């Protein structure tokens, strides 16, 4: 390991054909027969644990039974009724820590019903057909939704179903939020995020305006004035800092931004990839950037995580996915010092860590790792663009169980709110919940 | 190693597994393949009278019910008796019997309900040196419209009459094949016995429409937009066949009448069950049509292993042993008290027992304990119906435990060791009150 070598960062490490193979669907969809056999494995549990483990409380036994009885479109409607982004959630949900972990067959034999794949089977078929829902008669109410991510889309869809007219304001040029700009590419192939947005919009009653950002031309006061209600699905725009010197050095990158570039790249062979890549963090983003770096042709990829593997937010399945792709996970290690040369990163001095009582401390033992690129995947934070108009809690927007904020006409959901689980499916649940409550607010209708 | 040899009304075979009269036994080619595979005998597919052979439909003949992973559970067919010329069949039967003298060769017959045709065909079959004949009084489709098959089997007087003709006109053992499409199976069995038949075989197929094509609004299998009822067989019919075999085995008049059992036999266990109900041989069709002739290997080795484990040297050692334990409901012991018990270590907490009991039965299972998901039987409500046992996906997780002593918490009555049945019960208006 030499810190003196010039950084090796270049595009086209692999042939296009290899890249295509590497970024194919992680879990190929079930065939009709596979779906029938798999659906037959479901026990149709009473008060099913899987359903209770689902953040959107999809009636899983019912939708599986509908597949089994030959009606995948009915199954899809059962799914979409709770989660209009059921197609994406089928692809990206960490089912191994949600529904499939709760499945009694996981408990019984370590082989849960493949709920995620069955959900995908149903939703894929239904999305090719006519939109399963229709809009209620127009309420004459106008709602603004800020952010076209999972929370905003779910909220907009449910509001539009209830007959309200929805206008979504989205800062980026494309809708979908992290479904479009985050999430590993092999989990959402064939431009699925955009197809899903089109599917949601095909209900009608939802208009999206791109290039509109809260705090930049768009103000909360104006939205409150012009609309009957407002939903904020802002996401997290701040990147957490490592807190070490030279963080601005060339080669130190934000994993989320790089994944966005990767997701938007038309030709992966044009994307610059380091030969040796170090990822700092322990969540899904860390896994996603590590695996994708490897798939893009990086030779050595190491994830440094300051605690033990059991503490990583990434599920065991995700960790194993990284490891089987040749990613080295190095727990109990924290960055101490960035090694740079001519303003470019060349490596990292790392200190081993250990628990001293209840606190994590450096042991004083250090080592150096060579790195052409270092990815920060240590989380993001909420940047308040509401000029302090809303009460925050733990740095994010404070909401109640209905996702209602401190202001009467404003609701919020997804990553920008406190207490959120940082999952697509949780954001969808927030959006739907908020919409139901907003509907009551807008019409005086009783909830339900 | 158990001795599987069978001697059924004088028809000897190296094992009791015969192929039933059906498509697998329609010609030399299939039967030779079956014998090579190890089948103990065959009942050659039903021959009709001399002359132009019958014709079959040229569209689909079968429909089916499938379980998970397309496991075939029930098969329905509208095929008729052999559609090959009588001469060819007879020549092949003779040839195969000569080449395979140790195997049972029984010939199934169906001719019009008159003495002369039966007399005539029996002579022809005798010339083949076949071991016996089986009178097909069972087919519920097609032939029955022409006054044969089930049309005969549904009239006990005809059964008796034809059986008598056959016994008069041949030295061969006569087996009467019974149709299940009848109210009381004992009637045709008694008629067969009265007519002098050596044995009965049952069941033939059950009249059925296996499914409806909802796009074309026609029964399946559909032929040019129409469908006809067929005969149902396969694993789904086994319980019906088992009951009918048991009814004949325990009927005072037909007790001891040899039975060749047919109906959904798929593994050695099915065969052993029929034999425990007194069957001397078993006939198989659907299992062979589903998996091929090789299945007989498992049947033979499985039966022999089980017999060895139980210490039965020959089939006669256990044949009919379950018959005395088949009784009428009125003689069941009402003082036998049991309660369901859920093994908490084996329970996977699916809650199916709870849903079944709470929604459809006796509200005897709790779903929560100390705020946690937990399924446990409440003895004071449990009537021991066994539904929870049957719906539980985990084998042996829920069991029925007999209460020998104490008080039944459901009724509050002390448990008696004495046997007492409905005929003695005070609620029975017909009960015998001995003390009075």
Q: What is the pLDDT of residues A331-351, one digit of tens each?
A: 999 999 999 999 999 999 999
Question: What backbone phi and psi angles, to 5 degrees, belong to B306?
Answer: -65, -40
Is there a contact between B348 and A47 if contact means CB atoms under 8 Å apart?
A: no
Is there a contact between A46 and B393 if contact means CB atoms under 8 Å apart?
A: no
Of A33, A43, A48, Cβ closest to residue B393: A43
For A214-241, write each residue's pLDDT tens digit.
Answer: 989 899 999 999 999 999 999 999 999 8
d(CA A231, CA A150) in angstroms, rounded, equals 12
> Are the beta carbons of B81 and B140 closer than 8 angstroms?
no
Beta bridge partners of A280: A304, A376
Tell me the average pLDDT across B16-25.
97
Helix (H) or strand (E) holding B398: strand B398-403
Is there a contact between A43 and B352 if contact means CB atoms under 8 Å apart?
A: yes
| Share above pLDDT 90 across residues of chain A, in percent, rounded to a whole number | 91
Tell me, yes or no, if B112 comes closer than 8 A to chain A by beta carbon.
no
Name the DSSP class of A205: S
Q: Which single residue is written with the structure tokens 């018959």?
A: B323
Tell me the average pLDDT across B265-273.
98
Of B69, B70, B350, Cβ closest to residue A43: B350
Does residue A2 carry a pLDDT above 70? no
Per-residue pLDDT at A1: 46
Is there a contact between A47 and B367 if contact means CB atoms under 8 Å apart?
A: yes
Per-residue pLDDT at B432: 63
Using pLDDT thresholds of 50, 70 and 90, give the confidence band for residue A165.
very high
Residues in contact with A217: Cβ distance below 8 Å, sequence separation at least 6, in sequence order: none
From B378's Cα to the closest Cα of chain A, the distance in A is: 18
For B368-404, write each residue's pLDDT tens digit.
Answer: 999 999 999 999 999 999 999 999 999 999 999 999 9
Does residue B204 carry a pLDDT above 90? yes
Tell me, yes or no, if B371 comes closer than 8 A to chain A by beta carbon.
no
Is there a contact between A107 and B349 if contact means CB atoms under 8 Å apart?
A: yes
Is the backbone of residue B292 left (phi > 0), alpha (psi -120 to 50) or beta? left
Is there a contact between B367 and A107 if contact means CB atoms under 8 Å apart?
A: no
Tell me, yes or no, if B420 comes closer than 8 A to chain A by beta carbon.
no
Tell me, yes or no, if A111 comes closer than 8 A to chain B by beta carbon.
no
> Are the beta carbons of A374 and A407 closer than 8 angstroms?
no
Comparing alpha-carbon positions, the chain B residue that sits nearest to A48 is: B350
From B234's Cα to the closest Cα of chain A, the distance in A is: 21
- CA dist list (Å): B377 to A389, A404, B185, B368, B381: 57, 44, 40, 11, 8
- Percentages of chain B per state (helix, strand, coil), in multiples of 5: 35, 20, 45
* Residue A40 with chain B: CB contacts under 8 Å: 68-69
Comparing alpha-carbon positions, the chain B residue that sits nearest to A35 is: B69
Structure tokens at A163: 């007959």
Structure tokens at B34: 């079956």
Helix (H, G, I), strand (E, B) or coil at B64: strand
Helix (H, G, I), strand (E, B) or coil at B407: strand
Of B69, B348, B351, Cβ closest to residue A107: B348
* Tally of CA atoms within 13 A in the half-sphere of A431 that contains its CB: 35
Does residue B68 carry a pLDDT above 90? no
> Are the beta carbons of A40 and A61 closer than 8 angstroms?
no
d(CA B333, CA B420) in angstroms, rounded, equals 5
State how far Cα A324 lies from the chain centre.
22
Q: Euclidean distance between the first and final Cα of chain A, in Å?
A: 63
Chosen from A37, A46, A50, A67 to mutate, greatest number of chain B CBs within 10 A = A46
- CA dist list (Å): A222 to A218, A230, A416: 7, 11, 20
Residues in contact with A302: Cβ distance below 8 Å, sequence separation at least 6, in sequence order: A277, A278, A279, A327, A328, A329, A330, A369
Handedness of CA A263, A265, A266, A270 (dihedral sign): negative
Does residue B414 carry a pLDDT above 60? yes
Does residue A407 carry a pLDDT above 50? yes
Name the DSSP class of A83: -
Question: What backbone phi and psi angles, to 5 degrees, belong to A412?
Answer: -150, 155
* Residue B69 with chain A: CB contacts under 8 Å: 36-37, 40
Per-residue pLDDT at B194: 98
Comparing alpha-carbon positions, the chain B residue that sits nearest to A112 is: B348
Per-residue pLDDT at B142: 81
Structure tokens at B210: 């296996």
> Are the beta carbons of A396 and A380 closer than 8 angstroms?
no
ipTM exceeds 0.90, yes or no: no
Structure tokens at A105: 């067959």
Is there a contact between B68 and A107 if contact means CB atoms under 8 Å apart?
A: no
Per-residue pLDDT at A446: 59
Question: What backbone phi and psi angles, to 5 degrees, belong to B59?
Answer: -110, -165
Using pLDDT thresholds of 50, 70 and 90, give the confidence band for residue B239.
very high
From A164's Cα to the closest Cα of chain B, the distance in A is: 39
Rg (alpha carbons) of chain A, rounded to whole number: 23
Is there a contact between B367 and A105 if contact means CB atoms under 8 Å apart?
A: no
> Are the beta carbons of B218 and B127 closer than 8 angstroms?
no
Tell me, yes or no, if A37 comes closer than 8 A to chain B by beta carbon.
yes
Is there a contact between B393 and A44 if contact means CB atoms under 8 Å apart?
A: no
Comparing alpha-carbon positions, the chain A residue that sits nearest to B70 is: A37
Structure tokens at B29: 């080619």
Is there a contact between B69 and A49 if contact means CB atoms under 8 Å apart?
A: no
Rg (alpha carbons) of chain B, rounded to whole number: 25
Domains of chain A (ranges plus CATH)?
Answer: 9-23+240-379 (3.50.50.60), 32-127 (1.10.1060.10), 142-237+382-443 (3.50.50.60)
Is there a contact between A37 and B394 if contact means CB atoms under 8 Å apart?
A: no
Query: Which residue in B139, B166, B285, B357 is the catalytic one?
Result: B139
From A10's Cα to the closest Cα of chain B, the distance in A is: 50
From B69's Cα to the closest Cα of chain A, the distance in A is: 5
Is there a contact between B69 and A40 if contact means CB atoms under 8 Å apart?
A: yes
Strands B17-19, B230-233: pairing is unpaired
> Are the beta carbons of A150 and A427 closer than 8 angstroms?
yes
> Are the beta carbons of A234 and A147 closer than 8 angstroms?
yes
Name the DSSP class of B143: G
- CA dist list (Å): B200 to A213, A270, B46, B279: 87, 81, 16, 10
- CA dist list (Å): A288 to A17, A185, A323, A327, B187: 21, 9, 12, 11, 75
Tell me, yes or no, if B352 comes closer than 8 A to chain A by beta carbon.
yes
Tell me, yes or no, if B223 comes closer than 8 A to chain A by beta carbon.
no
Structure tokens at B156: 């006990």
* Residue A104 with chain B: CB contacts under 8 Å: 348-350
Is the previous residue joined to A201 through a cis bond, with omega within 30 degrees of 0? no
Is there a contact between A45 and B394 if contact means CB atoms under 8 Å apart?
A: no
Comparing alpha-carbon positions, the chain A residue that sits nearest to B71 is: A37
From A109's Cα to the closest Cα of chain B, the distance in A is: 9
Mean pLDDT across chain A: 94
For A73-127, write each residue's pLDDT tens digit.
Answer: 999 999 999 999 999 999 999 999 999 999 999 999 999 999 999 999 999 999 9
> Are the beta carbons of A405 and A421 closer than 8 angstroms?
no
Helix (H, G, I), strand (E, B) or coil at A275: coil
Tell me, yes or no, if A367 comes closer than 8 A to chain B by beta carbon.
no
Does residue B1 carry a pLDDT above 90? no
The verdict on whether B139 is a catalytic residue reads yes
d(CA A196, CA A85) in angstroms, rounded, equals 7
| Share above pLDDT 90 across residues of chain B, in percent, rounded to a whole number | 93
| DSSP state string for B190-256 | HHHHHTT-SEEEE--PEEE--EEETTTTEEESPBTTB---EEEESGGGHHHHHHHHHHHHH-TTTTT
Name the DSSP class of B278: T
Per-residue pLDDT at A3: 46
Residues in contact with A374: Cβ distance below 8 Å, sequence separation at least 6, in sequence order: A251, A252, A253, A277, A278, A279, A280, A338, A345, A348
Structure tokens at B85: 């010329």
Specify which of A13-22, A384-393, B168-177 reaches the highest per-range mean pLDDT. B168-177
d(CA A427, CA A236) in angstroms, rounded, equals 12
Is there a contact between B352 and A46 if contact means CB atoms under 8 Å apart?
A: yes
Tell me, yes or no, if A108 comes closer than 8 A to chain B by beta carbon.
yes
| Share above pLDDT 70 across residues of chain A, in percent, rounded to a whole number | 98
| Neighbour count for residue B358 (Cβ, 10 Å) | 16
Is there a contact between B350 and A104 if contact means CB atoms under 8 Å apart?
A: yes
Of A36, A46, A108, Cβ closest to residue B348: A108
| DSSP state string for B100-128 | -TTSEEEEEE---SSHHHHHHHHHHHHTT
Using pLDDT thresholds of 50, 70 and 90, give the confidence band for residue A193.
very high
Comparing alpha-carbon positions, the chain A residue that sits nearest to B346 is: A108
| Neighbour count for residue B273 (Cβ, 10 Å) | 18
Does residue B123 carry a pLDDT above 90? yes
> Are the beta carbons of B48 and B81 closer than 8 angstroms?
yes
d(CA B404, CA B415) in angstroms, rounded, equals 7
Q: Which single residue is written with the structure tokens 């419209």?
A: B145
Structure tokens at B268: 């050695």
> Are the beta carbons of B163 and B176 closer than 8 angstroms?
yes
Per-residue pLDDT at B148: 84
Per-residue pLDDT at A5: 64
| Cα–Cα nearest to B271, from B235, B220, B247 | B235
Helix (H) or strand (E) holding A91: helix A86-92
Of B68, B69, B351, Cβ closest to residue A45: B351
Handedness of CA B431, B434, B435, B436 (dihedral sign): positive
Tell me, yes or no, if A71 comes closer than 8 A to chain B by beta carbon.
no
Of B69, B348, B350, Cβ closest to residue A37: B69
| DSSP state string for A416-436 | GBTT--S-HHHHHHHHHHHHH
- A residues 129-188 closer than 8 Å to B (CB): none
Per-residue pLDDT at A448: 44
Tell me, yes or no, if B391 comes closer than 8 A to chain A by beta carbon.
no
* Residue B373 with chain A: CB contacts under 8 Å: 47, 49
For A256-281, write each residue's pLDDT tens digit.
Answer: 999 999 999 999 999 999 999 999 99
């Amino acid at each position: 390991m030499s810190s003196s070598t010039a950084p090796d960062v270049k595009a086209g490490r692999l042939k296009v054909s290899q890249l295509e193979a590497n970024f194919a669907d992680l879990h190929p969809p079930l065939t009709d027969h596979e779906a029938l056999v798999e659906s037959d494995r479901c026990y149709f549990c009473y008060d099913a644990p899987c359903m209770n483990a689902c953040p959107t409380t999809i009636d899983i036994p019912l939708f599986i039974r509908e597949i089994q009885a030959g009606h995948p479109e009915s199954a899809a409607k059962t799914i979409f009724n709770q989660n209009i982004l059921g197609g994406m959630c089928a692809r990206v949900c960490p089912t191994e820590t949600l529904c499939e972990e709760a499945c009694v067959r996981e408990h019984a034999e370590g082989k849960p019903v493949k709920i995620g794949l069955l959900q995908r089977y149903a939703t894929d078929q239904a999305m090719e057909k006519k939109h399963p829902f229709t809009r209620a008669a127009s309420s004459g109410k106008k709602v603004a939704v800020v952010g076209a991510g999972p929370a905003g889309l779910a909220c907009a869809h449910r509001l539009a179903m209830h007959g309200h007219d929805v206008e979504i304001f989205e800062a980026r040029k494309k809708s979908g939020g992290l479904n479009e700009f985050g999430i590993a590419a092999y989990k959402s192939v064939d431009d699925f995020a955009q197809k899903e947005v089109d599917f949601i919009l095909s209900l009608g009653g939802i208009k999206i305006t791109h290039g509109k950002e809260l705090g930049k031309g768009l103000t909360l006061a104006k939205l409150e004035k012009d609309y009957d209600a407002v939903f904020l699905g802002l996401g997290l725009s701040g990147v957490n800092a490592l807190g070490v010197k030279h963080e601005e050095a060339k080669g130190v990158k934000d994993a989320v931004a790089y994944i966005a570039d990767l997701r938007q790249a038309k030709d992966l062979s044009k994307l610059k990839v380091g030969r040796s890549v170090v990822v700092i963090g322990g969540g899904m983003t860390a896994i996603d950037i590590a695996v994708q770096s490897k798939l893009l042709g990086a030779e050595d990829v190491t994830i440094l995580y300051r605690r033990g593997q059991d503490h990583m937010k990434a599920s065991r399945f995700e960790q194993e996915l990284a490891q089987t792709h040749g990613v080295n996970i190095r727990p109990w290690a924290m960055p101490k010092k960035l090694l740079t040369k001519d303003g470019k990163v060349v490596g990292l001095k790392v200190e081993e860590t250990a628990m001293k009582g209840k606190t994590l401390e450096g042991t004083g033992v250090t080592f150096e790792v060579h790195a052409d690129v270092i990815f920060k995947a240590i989380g993001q934070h909420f940047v308040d663009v509401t000029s302090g108009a809303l009460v925050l809690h733990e740095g994010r927007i404070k909401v109640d169980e209905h996702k209602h904020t401190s202001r009467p006409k404003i609701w919020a959901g997804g990553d920008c709110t406190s207490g959120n689980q940082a999952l697509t499916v949780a954001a969808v649940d927030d959006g739907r919940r908020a919409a139901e409550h907003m509907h009551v607010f807008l019409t005086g209708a009783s909830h339900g | 190693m158990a001795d599987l040899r069978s001697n059924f009304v004088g028809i000897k075979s190296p094992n009791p597994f015969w192929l039933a009269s059906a498509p697998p036994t329609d010609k030399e080619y299939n039967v030779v393949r079956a014998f090579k595979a190890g089948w103990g005998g065959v009942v050659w597919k039903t021959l009709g009278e001399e002359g132009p052979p019958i014709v079959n439909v040229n569209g689909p003949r079968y429909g089916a019910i499938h379980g998970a992973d397309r496991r075939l559970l029930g098969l329905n067919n509208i095929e008729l008796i052999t559609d090959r010329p009588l001469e060819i069949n007879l020549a092949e039967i003779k040839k195969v019997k000569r080449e395979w003298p140790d195997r049972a060769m029984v010939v199934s017959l169906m001719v019009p309900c008159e003495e002369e045709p039966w007399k005539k065909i029996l002579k022809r079959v005798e010339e083949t040196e076949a071991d016996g004949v089986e009178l097909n009084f069972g087919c519920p489709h097609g032939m029955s419209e022409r006054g044969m098959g089930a049309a005969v089997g549904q009239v006990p007087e005809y059964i008796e009459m034809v059986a008598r003709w056959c016994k008069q006109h041949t030295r061969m053992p006569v087996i009467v094949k019974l149709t299940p499409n009848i109210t009381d199976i004992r009637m045709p069995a008694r008629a067969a016995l009265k007519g002098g038949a050596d044995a009965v075989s049952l069941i033939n197929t059950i009249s059925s429409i296996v499914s409806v094509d909802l796009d074309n609004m026609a029964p399946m299998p559909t032929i040019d937009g129409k469908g006809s009822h067929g005969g149902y067989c396969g694993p789904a019919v086994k319980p019906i066949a088992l009951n009918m075999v048991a009814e004949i085995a325990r009927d005072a008049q037909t007790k001891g009448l040899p039975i060749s059992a047919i109906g959904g036999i798929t593994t050695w266990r099915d065969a052993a069950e029929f034999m425990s109900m007194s069957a001397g041989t078993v006939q198989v069709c659907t299992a062979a049509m589903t998996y091929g002739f090789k299945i007989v290997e498992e049947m033979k080795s499985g039966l022999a292993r089980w017999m060895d484990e139980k210490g039965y040297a020959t089939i006669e050692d256990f044949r009919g042993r379950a018959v005395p334990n088949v009784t009428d409901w009125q003689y069941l012991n009402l003082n036998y008290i049991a309660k369901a018990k859920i093994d908490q270590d084996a329970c996977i907490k699916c809650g199916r027992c709870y849903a079944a009991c709470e929604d459809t039965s006796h509200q005897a299972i709790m779903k929560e304990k100390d705020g946690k998901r937990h399924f446990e039987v409440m003895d004071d409500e449990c009537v021991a119906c066994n539904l929870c046992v049957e719906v539980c996906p985990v084998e042996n997780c829920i069991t029925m435990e007999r209460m020998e002593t104490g008080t039944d918490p459901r009724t509050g009555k002390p448990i008696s060791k004495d046997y007492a049945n409905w005929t003695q019960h005070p609620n029975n208006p017909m009960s015998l009150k001995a003390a009075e």
